[in-house]
Amino acid sequence: MRKCPRIPASWRLTWERRTKVSTAATETKTALSISGLHAWYGESHILHGVDLKVHQGEVVTLLGRNGAGRTTTLKSILGLVGSRKGSIKVNGIEAIGLPTHQIAHIGIGYCPEERGIFSSLTAEENLLLPPEVQAGGMTIGEIYAMFPNLEERRHSQGSRLSGGEQQMLAMARILRTGAHLLLLDEITEGLAPVIVQTLGRVIGQLKDRGFTIVLVEQNFRFAAPIADRHYVMEHGRIAETFSAAELEAKMDMLHEYLGV
């Protein structure tokens, strides 16, 4: 019987390194890769195996009826649900086992459905609150140029801002941190058409800057022109995926899913 020759440690390292580098190279093109994601709030099982991939620089929507599990999907990425299972890779790094505060540092900016403006902080304190997670975030000057209202209101208490201003602020404060993957939950909800238009322009500018964006939306007219791809969720699963080009053909199906 022939004995297997022992591979010298230095070789093994090289091989390990080589495979690591090559997988990292393919994975850098995927900003977010979710597979078999299950999530629970206490006893209630909400997500039943979500699979979803977002490439770097893409704008992707998560559509679906109320209660389909879109917010829960975003929260699961950040570890804000009761418990979760499966795989969530952000920039190639597995996030499923990380505590919430470390997940932000792999490059995620989160804008929650309820906006989450801190009422005991001023507008500017809110803006400066999220710690920098990576180098190369937008400067305060660039942010104020994008949202002029916020500069005027910077000394106001968070609780004194209008709904539109709060939404701008909730968006603005995650642009400073250097996070390149933005998770935006229903940013147009309850806002006047002018403000929705402004937000549409902002998303366009962010896309040009190379941000990767996951948009949870009800407002399909807002989402359709800016997204590259669409995911439709139902009952805690992804029911459909299609690209912007296929949109026309999928309209009927979409009406059925969204019940509009």
Ligand X SMILES: Nc1ncnc2c1ncn2[C@@H]1O[C@H](COP(=O)(O)OP(=O)(O)OP(=O)(O)O)[C@@H](O)[C@H]1O
Q: Residues interacting with Mg ion, by CB under 5 A?
A: 71, 113
Please say which residue, 10 or 66, places its beta carbon nearer to ligand X: 66
Q: Map residue 257 onto helix, strand or coil.
A: helix
> Out of another protein, ligand X, Mg ion, none, which partner does residue 202 contact, by CB within 5 to 8 A per kind?
none
Q: Of 25-33, 126-134, 138-146, 204-212, which part binds another protein (CB under 8 A)?
A: 126-134
Contact between 64 and ligand X per CB under 6 A: yes
Rounded to a whole number of angstroms, the minimum distance from the CB of residue 181 to another protein is: 13
**103 contacts which partner out of another protein, Mg ion, ligand X, none, CB within 5 to 8 A by kind?**
another protein
Contacts of residue 47, defined as CB under 8 A and 6 or more positions apart, other chains included, come to 37, 38, 39, 69, 72, 73, 76, 84, 236, 237
User: Binding to another protein by residue 120, rule CB under 8 A?
Assistant: yes
Residues numbered 136 to 175 that lie near another protein (CB under 8 A) are 174
Considering only the C-alpha atoms of the chain, give the largest distance between any 2 of them, rounded to a whole number of Å.
Answer: 81
* Binder among 103, 138, 143, 232 for another protein (CB under 8 A): 103
Q: Are 230 and 247 in contact (CB under 8 A)?
A: yes
Confirm or reject binding of residue 188 to ligand X (CB under 6 A): no
Q: Quote the tokens at residue 121.
A: 């902080």
| Bridge partner list, 155 | none
Residue 177 near which of another protein, Mg ion, ligand X, none (CB within 5-8 Å, type-dependent): another protein
Q: Which residue in 69, 107, 130, 178 binds ligand X (CB under 6 A)? A: 69
Interface residue with ligand X among 72, 149, 166, 167 (CB under 6 A) is: 72
Residue nearer to another protein on the CB measure, 96 or 128 = 128
Angle separating helix axes 163-172 and 193-208, nearest 10 degrees: 10
User: Rounded to the nearest 10 degrees, how much is the dihedral formed by the CA atoms of 214, 217, 221, 226?
Assistant: -10
Determine, following the binding rule CB under 6 A, whether residue 43 of this chain makes contact with ligand X: no
Kindly state the smallest distance separating residue 154's Cβ from another protein, in Å.
Answer: 14
Tokens of 235: 């009952």
Partner from ligand X, another protein, Mg ion, none contacting 125, C-beta within 5 to 8 A by type: another protein
Q: State whether the Cα torsion 184-189-191-195 is positive or negative.
A: positive
What's the Cα-to-Cα distance from 218 to each of 1, 65, 246, rounded to whole Å? 67, 8, 19
Q: Binding marks (x or -) toward another protein, 7..46, rule CB under 8 A?
A: ----------------------------------------
Q: How many CA atoms lie within 13 A of 134 on its CB side?
A: 16
Residue 107 interacts, among another protein, ligand X, Mg ion, none and using kind-specific CB cut-offs from 5 to 8 Å, with none
Query: Measured between alpha carbons, how far is 78 from 69 in angstroms, rounded to an integer?
Result: 15
78 forms part of the interface with another protein (CB under 8 A): yes
